[in-house]
Structure 1
């Protein structure tokens, strides 16, 4: 089934309905807001799974990655009576979400079909029943549960009396914006390379060697094979720091969020690079020279 603009609009109307129903079942004023967010996630995960069944497109969770966490951030901001710390962090999450939504949209992520990795994995799994179980348990439930996990610092801020922006919280803000800049630059470099590689943009002289190889190795990709992953992880570890600064401990149970996200990206790197190595013979040499996510600080 071709994913049209009308299908996308219909999907997001359903998602808005999930938010309304979740907020109705667990009102912010009388409920623990974590229960509210869990209820919303259960509904959105179910909707994503069902849309995958109907459309045979399994990127519905991908289409929520930059939007649903923003909604959660402002639910927590409201629950925290818009204290300075949670509101500041909600604004940061909104900036993150707006940038990611723009990048996803210009790559035709909403109407351009599902993530290229899903058909490959679907063929590897083979059995349709097993694939639907994977769709339900990993794509829909696990990944959307991550939305809850990596926004947990905002829940903590909403529940912390007198949460404010002290020195370490502001350091978290600066780190978050720095990592967001890294992610933005990396995405732009990759976008320019891919667009020019396929003739959708004028060829770049600086990319001639990379055109021959078939993949990006210059710019930020000279120090990290996935600098966009580095930026994304840095964003959420920085937001964790803002929360931790307000509870007075660098180790807090909300660290579960950035840890789970890090594990997801590690797994994604292994799977994605397995595909890339089969497609581009020189990628193995690149792997030996450049670390996967975190830059090698020595040569």
Structure 2
């Protein structure tokens, strides 16, 4: 069986399981709990079917594993794997949408679309596993460096957010700022989101380096991820602005995603 065919069957199985668990538990973050696990697994699966001695697939597997380990740790320390660790945005959507409409949303978007996206993010490894792939080149080196720099940036951003939220919880209403505007968050309202999306574009560059062309089928994953993050960022900021009126001032002075110097 073609490795992409086998991975697709596994993807559909995971999507079905996430949907069933959501229906049974009334929690809809089951895909979130698999988000950092499935892409590295898919990449490793594709790499295992590459021709012997392919350094590109080895590096891609290591990078995907590093990404997954970091994200899993960050998700776990925030209680994402604990009972009741549902994403607050799903809770809010359940409140806003009629039950039949949310049921369709949970099936189509939360369970199936997101699981398919997780497979699509790993497709550059499938493309790079071609026996006719070009040898390691300068674009591979550049993609590796960029990926690692973005991984470091996301790690720093998440750590800054973690420390801020802990301090806020410890001091309660006495804590001054209600949302983080310092560190990397001085230059972008969502530096972690920027790094996350950009990392998968760097990962896509490996498929280009393998000789598949500047635009090849593996581009679907990073394109959909970019659209997803833009949509989720808009919704997240709507909730933040409703909760904190001064968030509007932060929006006026600070870049949304791409880090840039703050405006006065």
Alignment TM-score, normalising by the size of structure 1: 0.83
In the alignment, which of 195, 203, 223 is matched to residue 187 of structure 2?
223
Q: What is the RMSD of the two structures over their aligned residues, measured on CA atoms?
A: 1.7
Secondary structure in 2 aligned to 1:79? coil
User: 2:29 maps to what in 1?
Assistant: 59
Residue number among 69, 85, 88 corresponding to 1:116 in the alignment: 88
- Does residue 100 of structure 1 match 2:71? yes
Residues 248, 35 of structure 1: alpha-carbon distance in 2 compared, 3 angstrom cutoff: closer
Distance in 2 (CA, whole Å) between partners of 1:250 and 1:214 is 43
Structure 1 segments (4+ residues) deviating >3 Å? none
Higher relative contact order (CA 8 A, sep 6+): 2
Between 288-297 and 146-155, the greater mean CA deviation after superposition: 288-297
Aligned length: 260
Q: Name 1:182's counterpart in structure 2.
A: 153
Unmatched 5+ stretches in structure 1: 1-30
Structure 2 residue runs of 5 or longer lacking an equivalent are: none
Q: Distance in 2 between matches of 1:118 and 1:298?
A: 31
Instruction: Give the Cα separation in 1 of the matches to 2:197 and 2:167.
Output: 28
Aligned equivalents of 2:207 and 2:133: distance in 1?
A: 12
Paired position in structure 1 for 2:241: 277
Tell me the residue number matched to 1:3.
none
Question: TM-score scaled to structure 2, two decimals?
Answer: 0.94
1:236 is aligned to 2:206: no
For residue 277 of structure 1, report the CA deviation from its aligned partner: 0.3
Alignment of 1:74-89 (within 5 A): 74-81=44-51, 83-89=54-60
